[in-house]
Structure 1
Amino acid sequence: MVAPSPYASRLAQIPVERHEVNVRGGTTAYWVYGDPHAETTVVAVHGYRGEHHGLDPVVAYLDDIRIISPDLPGFGETAPLPAVPHTLETYADWLTDFVRAVAPGAVVLGHSFGSIVVAAAVAGGLEVPKVILVNPIGAPALEGPRGILTRLAVFYYWAGAKLPKPIGDALLRNGLIVRVMSVSMAKTKDAELRTFIHDQHDTYFSRFADRDVLHEGFVASVSHDVRAFAPRITQPTLLIAADRDDITPIEAERHLQTLFPQAELVEITGVGHLIHYEKPSEAAAAITRFLRPSADGRR
């Protein structure tokens, strides 16, 4: 039984359409939310092992903005890209081509691993007016508050890729392990919200194409962070960070802000790495304010 979403009634009021586009030899599935004539379009990139559904709670509070939300290659309804390893460079090139094909000139938003993909693409030349990073990976994952758990995750994904395929697949899709991941990230005390979060992870965390792309994506996610790209991102940038994030501590996020030529940091309290599930209205409020036209008429 699917747990009811606390955001379902709001999301139901926003029109949504599913589309596909050929990008770098593969078919990318993406969803378009909101008024097609809205003044502002945001391309939203989800995190590792997730898919576009994860950002739906934030979309529910952005009813005046057109949102384009793709599934990353190898996750959800987007197949892996053919004949290439799924490195960070691959994902950044894919995002660059996707935005140019579907929404040139759009603002780009990335959550978690999506923040690294967005940062790499923009630093590499993707032309966008503004950048939004939610729960940005602002420090090496292996050095975070749960560095030991991250090292265990490295072994877990390595083992899943190296064991005989039936055993490796079973390990990577194991429901108990997915639940442990979910429990470790959720900070809310609201029982209904926790049930919804766990159901989301149970439903979508195993919708990856195969163990190879899952392992490649994990290596990309823990081998890079946003710091390396920040100095080359000259566009106005919004960082939305959590004060209880176990992956990037808030002190590292404050330092990350200083590496951008022009960035502001919004800190959301009482939440960890799941801002998009636990406090989407606060994130959406910060995004809406950031996207308002400035005094000189730019968006």
Structure 2
Amino acid sequence: LARLAQGYYAASAALPESLGMALLSSPVVVWFTGTVMAKTQDRHTLAYLHDQHQRYFSAFDHRRVLVESYRASIRGTVLDVADRLALPVLLVAGAQDELGSVAGQERLARRIREVSPRVRLEVFDGVGHLIHYERAPETAGVMRDFLRTD
């Protein structure tokens, strides 16, 4: 999935401006990406997810900025600065996330733990990259619990 995303953004950047913008804001592509990343079968959650993606994923002004943002997001990761995160850190991951991995999150937690007073990794089974849609109440609960803990 990550390679597919790289190809998508590379093609969007290489095309003439109008075609690149059309590809980046295509409702079909936006629907497809949400469908691929979602793991839930709950039709209400899927409907909400697709509604939000259709409303907001194409709300950008300049193709260049969006493509540069994507490139920046894959060039570096929080792992690059993990040894400087000397603060409490909560990591929330989906066990079936195609854009990340549980092993990667565990590695990150270990690195942060070297300097942080408190690190917690919460992994939700049956969820991919869209935890904030598929497990919103549970994620909020984990965040509340983490913030309450001294």
The reply on whether 1:257 has 2:131 as its aligned counterpart is: no
User: Which of the numbers 2, 26, 46 marks the counterpart of 1:194?
Assistant: 46
Runs (4 or more) in structure 1 with deviation over 3 Å come to none
| Distance in 1 separating the partners of 2:8 and 2:51 | 22
Question: Which structure has the highest helix share of the two?
Answer: 2
Q: Matches of residues 55-134 of structure 1 in structure 2 within 5 Å?
A: none
| Distance in 1 separating the partners of 2:88 and 2:29 | 39
Partner of 1:270: 126
Q: In percent, how many aligned pairs have the same letter?
A: 40
The reply on whether 1:154 has 2:6 as its aligned counterpart is: yes
1:217-260: per-residue Cα shift (whole Å, max 9, x none)? 01011111111111111001111111111111112111111000
| Distance in 1 separating the partners of 2:38 and 2:11 | 26
Structure 1 alignment gaps of length 5 or more: 1-148, 295-299
Partner of 1:207: 59
The reply on whether 1:286 has 2:142 as its aligned counterpart is: yes
Structure 2 alignment gaps of length 5 or more: none
| Distance in 2 separating the partners of 1:214 and 1:152 | 16
| Distance in 1 separating the partners of 2:46 and 2:149 | 36
In the alignment of these two chains, the number of paired residues is 146
Check conservation: 1:185, 1:272, Cα contact below 8 A. Answer: yes
Partner of 1:230: 82
Q: Could you say what secondary structure the match of 2:55 adopts?
A: helix
Q: Could you say what secondary structure the match of 1:229 adopts?
A: helix
1:167-206: per-residue Cα shift (whole Å, max 9, x none)? 1111111111111111111110111211111111111110
> Which has the higher relative contact order, 1 or 2, with Cα contacts under 8 A spaced 6 or more apart?
2
| Distance in 2 separating the partners of 1:160 and 1:270 | 31
For the structure 1 residues 192 and 236, does the alpha-carbon distance in structure 2 shift closer, same or farther, using more than 3 Å as the test?
same
Partner of 1:83: none
Give the structure-2-normalised TM-score: 0.91
Check conservation: 1:268, 1:282, Cα contact below 8 A. Answer: no
Q: What is the identity, as a one-letter code, of the residue corresponding to 1:264?
A: R
Q: What is the identity, as a one-letter code, of the residue corresponding to 1:286?
A: V
Check conservation: 1:245, 1:272, Cα contact below 8 A. Answer: yes
Q: What is the identity, as a one-letter code, of the residue corresponding to 1:212?
A: R
For the structure 1 residues 225 and 174, does the alpha-carbon distance in structure 2 shift closer, same or farther, using more than 3 Å as the test?
same
Partner of 2:36: 184
Question: Which structure has the highest strand share of the two?
Answer: 1
Q: Could you say what secondary structure the match of 1:208 adopts?
A: coil
